[in-house]
Amino acid sequence: MSDLTALSVVELQQALSAGETTSVEVTRAHLDRIAAEDGALGAYLHVEGEAALRRAGEIDAAGTAGTGLAGMPVALKDVFVTEGVPTTSGSRILEGWRPPYDATVARKLKDAGTVLLGKTNMDEFAMGSSTENSAYRPTRNPWDHDRIPGGSSGGSSTAVAGRLAPVALGTDTGGSIRQPAALTGLVGHKPTYGSVSRYGLIAFSSSLDQAGPMARTVLDAALVHEAIGGHDPRDSTSIDAPVPTVVEAARRGAGGDLAGLRVGVVRELGGDGAREGYDAGVLERVAEAVALLEGAGAEVREVSCPSFGLALPAYYLIAPSEASSNLARFEGMRFGIRVGDDGSRDIDEVMALTREQGFGPEVKRRIILGTYALSAGYYDAYYGQAQKVRTLITRDFHAAFDDVDVLVSPTSPTVAWPIGARVDDPLAMYAADLCTLPASLAGVPAISVPCGLSEGLPVGLQVMAPALSDDRCYRVAAAVEAALGAPLTDRLAERAA
């Protein structure tokens, strides 16, 4: 067969079910590519290697390879706990920790017969937009090794775009699936908040964190979403509702017929009068994608959501506040590293030393910011006000969805920037999430789909829909993908060849 690492999930399913290849062969092909390429890319923090081959052999022996996702190699962001497999959340403070249980999404993928290739690199505790905040090493963009792959799920995006995995899971708190997907030419979906379990997902901001798929095609992403979605009684925020019909929607959208669908272009996210900070090439590609939607029969109009402009400051009060609470559990007593426990220090000194050496600069910055925002005398002025803004953003979505079926915008205001360009400018780094934050704060689903290149680098179109209407995201994204032809990552493969 042709290079197995170049095949999509659907193509691998067909090859496995037809007996043209085996799970062991597919897994070995990806492991070989990881060995050859990941030294330069830095996509993985841990590779399963022999364990993955054993798992693939068991699936081949059972005769189930090619049935659903059985036999399919996958990569997991290192924020998902995985039984017996090193899990660090990109932080030194969890170095060497092997969890005693699986996250629900990890268990669901295991039950579906997938093969875990390894755990992917990420910004420490998912705090960042470039994967430069990893405590271990930065990850590089397969399109240009001198540029960032986005974040915080940059390891997952590089793994899939660089053909080191056919599909991967990421997490999205303020855009950490969609933004890296856009910057590496992938499809990345943030499901409706609560529709995919957070059990076993190491928490950054509990009211925002959401797991989702990253893939080369819309249908591949939908197949994985269908496998990981659904109610989980172990997650108190889990919605007891059926998984939206995302696979059917992706297949329907690929037909290119969007007749009657109402599409709203968000004025405040790169629309008329709100173009400052956006690359001209990004806006051109997004405008072309909107024209494709119109050509497929959609009714396009501009929509104003005035509170979206307040999403950035609101998010950077809410998320650090929740992080300052969630990260209090990492003190060196129960898991991870312990520093200074030589018998001469009390427990408070040991905890302080552990956190000093275990947490990186960005994590410390956000803990300090969040603790301040929650402190007596400032809670109402900062955190309380941010939550009120969150309500206004949610109301803007509700008002918009009374008039249109989906909203669209750029996923990222710019293409991938050079490594190191924003490390010393936190505000510039935070601005990378400008377009993705509103959907995160409102808990609505949003997908990024490639819509072309600017300066030779990928651009993403973001599609947002009402809560539990994830199928609309997949339908529209599939229509864009079909209109543009082959997946954008095919161009990357041609360039490499």
CATH number at residue 227: 3.90.1300.10
What's the confidence (pLDDT) of residue 145? 98
Residue 405 is given by DSSP the state S
Tens digits of residue pLDDT in 8-59 = 999 999 999 999 999 999 999 999 999 999 999 999 999 999 999 999 999 9
Q: Are 359 and 91 in contact (CB under 8 A)?
A: yes
| Residues listed for the chain | 497
Q: pLDDT value at position 357?
A: 97
Domain count, the chain: 1
pTM beyond 0.85, yes or no: yes
How far apart are the C-alpha atoms of 403 and 401, rounded to whole Å? 5
Cα atoms found within 13 Å of the Cα of residue 306, Cβ hemisphere only: 1
Is residue 152 flagged as an active site residue?
yes
Low pLDDT (below 70) residues in the chain:
1, 273, 497
Does some domain include residue 368?
no
In a domain, 115, yes or no: yes
- Structural domain range at position 50: 4-255+484-496
Whose tokens are 């043209």? That residue is 20
Question: Does 306 map to a domain?
Answer: no
Please give the pLDDT value at position 273. 64
156, 176, 307, 321: the catalytic one is: 176
Residue 42 within a domain: yes
pLDDT at 271: 78
User: Is residue 58 domain-resident?
Assistant: yes
Type of residue found at 278: Y
Task: Tell me whether residue 54 is in a domain.
Answer: yes
Residue type, 399: A
Q: Give the pLDDT confidence score for residue 494 in this predicted structure.
A: 80
Is 176 part of the annotated catalytic residue set?
yes
**Residue 190 annotated in active site:** no
- Let me know if residue 243 belongs to a domain: yes
- Write the CA distances from 433 to 98, 130, 335, 425, integer angstroms: 32, 11, 32, 14
Q: Measuring CA to CA, which residue among 489, 492, 365, 373 is closest to residue 426?
A: 365
| Dihedral pair phi/psi, residue 227, rounded to 5° | -75, -30
pLDDT digits (tens, 9 = 90+) for 311-343: 999 999 999 999 999 999 999 998 899 999 999
pLDDT of residue 497: 67
- Single out the catalytic residue among 77, 108, 119, 190: 77
- Given 8, 152, 156, 307, which residue is catalytic? 152
Element (H, E) at 238: none
**Spatial distance between the Cα atoms of 172 and 289, rounded to a whole number of angstroms:** 24
> Can you tell me the distance from the alpha carbon of 216 to that of 201, in angstroms, rounded to the nearest whole number?
24
Question: Is residue 107 a part of any domain in this protein?
Answer: yes
